[in-house]
């Protein structure tokens, strides 16, 4: 269901460089996570041979694929790698066909047939064809390329929204249209230029796509693609897919963050350190009664800890609850006065209060 391409698309992020050791650690995390397929890189990538050999020796259940341009020499080079699948990229928009490749539609159909034939003869039983820039392509021609790929022996077509142009509604229509015409597997590759990659990927899977490309922290060209941790969490915690392990998400994200020099926002979905932190009076009080009132899933399921604090947004109920957690008898405390003191100190410090600060206030100590 998920094709993680952190080591291919993610490695194309400006300024990101992963050595073989880092790639192995990322791949190990992805295998523990339970993704069905790892796109390990591209033909000719630095260290790809050593990495592929090492990975194939330790891999047990995860499919391994490599990306290749639509060229015979690159496909033959890919066939010498110990991988299960090859992903051949081919543009389908006239903009790319004419301006980048200086070619035409009929030539692309012939080139695609030759590429699939070469891959099959070279020993690839599973050939994936990436239809690049499909959101700006003529719909009928894109479909003819997909049908041609199926007839020629491809096992999968990958619909690539290369510039993140689609909305979830448009993605649903796109996938439904292809699902009604072809019988081979369908994958999607959703870029995040307008912040809709994860939503588009989830929609595609719900509309009948078999696979969605993802990358840890969503890293990739420009603003990247759908985020692995978001899709894994959604599928496991909301969709009931038991094959994914969400408890390793945070560690893998921190590893990629350090290697790619991409900081993880404290409010980053699924893995941000403060996504289960709360100081709002209404919410804090509700969480003390029943966490599921304001939490979409158990924090521990993704390796995050719940943090409740009092501060400038807190009310008396939240302060009472905080005192009780500290072992202080709140019934002997003037909650109205203490709550006002909490708010004033928090506003002066521009942050929630620590446990120690709350206790000092409750004891009548003045904090400078």
CATH assignment at residue 50: 3.20.20.70
SS3 percent helix, strand, coil of the chain, rounded to 5, is: 50, 15, 35
Which among 201, 228, 260 is the end of a domain?
A: 260
> Would you say residue 268 lies in a domain?
no
> Would you say residue 318 lies in a domain?
yes
- One domain, residues 324 and 186: no
- One domain, residues 10 and 75: yes
- One domain, residues 287 and 251: no
Average the pLDDT over 154-182 and give the result.
Answer: 98
Lowest mean per-residue pLDDT among 148-157, 214-223, 317-326: 317-326
Average the pLDDT over 349-353 and give the result.
Answer: 88
At 367 the pLDDT is 57
State percent of the chain over pLDDT 70. Answer: 95
Query: Alpha-carbon distance 197 to 227, whole Å?
Result: 8
> Would you say residue 270 lies in a domain?
no
State percent of the chain over pLDDT 90. Answer: 73
Task: Report CA dihedral (218, 221, 223, 228) to the nearest 10 degrees.
Answer: -10
H-run or E-run covering 187 = strand 185-190
- One domain, residues 205 and 301: no
> Would you say residue 265 lies in a domain?
no
- One domain, residues 233 and 286: no
At 267 the pLDDT is 94
- One domain, residues 312 and 243: no
Looking at per-residue pLDDT, the higher value among 100 and 364 belongs to 100
Q: What one-character DSSP code corresponds to residue 95?
A: I
At 362 the pLDDT is 83
At 288 the pLDDT is 58
> Would you say residue 109 lies in a domain?
yes
> Would you say residue 367 lies in a domain?
no
pLDDT above 80 for 366: no
- One domain, residues 154 and 66: yes
Query: Alpha-carbon distance 216 to 188, whole Å?
Result: 16
> Would you say residue 141 lies in a domain?
yes
Domain count, the chain: 2
Going by C-beta distance under 8 Å and a sequence separation of 6 or more, which residues neighbour residue 177?
A: 139, 143
- One domain, residues 254 and 281: no
- One domain, residues 194 and 321: no
Q: What one-character DSSP code corresponds to residue 363?
A: T
pLDDT above 90 for 285: no
- One domain, residues 340 and 256: no
Chain segment 54-94, per-residue pLDDT in tens: 999 998 889 999 999 999 999 999 999 999 999 999 999 99
- One domain, residues 284 and 253: no
Which among 209, 234, 260 is the end of a domain?
A: 260
At 89 the pLDDT is 97
At 310 the pLDDT is 84
Boundaries of domain holding 225: 2-260
Chain segment 125-148, per-residue pLDDT in tens: 999 999 999 999 999 999 999 999
pLDDT above 60 for 368: no
At 280 the pLDDT is 57
- One domain, residues 213 and 342: no
Query: Alpha-carbon distance 169 to 182, whole Å?
Result: 20
Instruction: Catalogue the E-assigned strands of 254-368.
Output: 277-278, 307-308
> Would you say residue 100 lies in a domain?
yes
């Amino acid at each position: 269901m998920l094709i993680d391409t952190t080591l291919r698309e993610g490695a194309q992020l400006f300024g990101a460089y992963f050595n073989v050791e880092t790639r192995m650690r990322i791949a190990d995390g992805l295998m523990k996570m339970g993704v069905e397929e790892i796109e390990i890189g591209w033909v000719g990538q630095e260290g790809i041979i050593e990495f592929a050999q090492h990975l194939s020796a330790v891999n047990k259940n995860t499919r391994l694929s490599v990306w290749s341009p639509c060229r015979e020499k690159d496909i033959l080079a890919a066939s010498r790698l110990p991988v299960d699948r090859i992903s051949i990229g081919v543009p389908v928009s006239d903009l790319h066909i004419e301006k980048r490749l200086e070619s035409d539609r009929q030539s692309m159909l012939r080139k695609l047939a030759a590429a699939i034939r070469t891959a099959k003869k070279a020993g690839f039983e599973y050939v994936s064809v990436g239809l690049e820039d499909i959101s700006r392509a003529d719909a009928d021609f894109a479909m003819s390329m997909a049908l041609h790929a199926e007839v020629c022996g491809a096992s999968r077509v990958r619909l690539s929204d290369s510039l993140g142009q689609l909305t979830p509604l448009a993605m649903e229509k796109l996938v439904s249209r292809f699902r009604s015409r072809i019988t081979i597997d369908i994958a999607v590759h959703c870029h995040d230029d307008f912040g809709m990659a994860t939503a588009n990927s989830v929609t595609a899977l719900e509309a009948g796509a078999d696979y969605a490309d993802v990358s840890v922290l969503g890293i990739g060209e420009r603003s990247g693609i759908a985020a692995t941790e978001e899709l894994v969490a959604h599928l496991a915690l909301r969709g009931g897919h038991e094959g994914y392990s969400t408890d390793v998400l945070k560690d893998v994200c921190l590893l990629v963050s350090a290697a790619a020099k991409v900081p993880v926002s404290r409010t980053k979905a699924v893995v941000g350190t403060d996504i289960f932190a709360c100081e709002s009076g209404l919410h804090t009080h509700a969480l003390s009664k029943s966490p599921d009132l304001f939490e979409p899933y158990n924090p521990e399921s993704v390796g995050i800890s719940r943090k409740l604090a009092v501060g400038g947004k807190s009310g008396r109920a939240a302060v009472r609850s905080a005192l009780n957690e500290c072992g202080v008898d709140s019934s002997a405390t003037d909650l109205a006065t203490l709550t006002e003191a909490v708010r004033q100190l928090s506003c002066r410090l521009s942050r929630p209060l620590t446990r120690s600060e709350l206790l000092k206030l409750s004891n009548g100590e003045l904090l400078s």
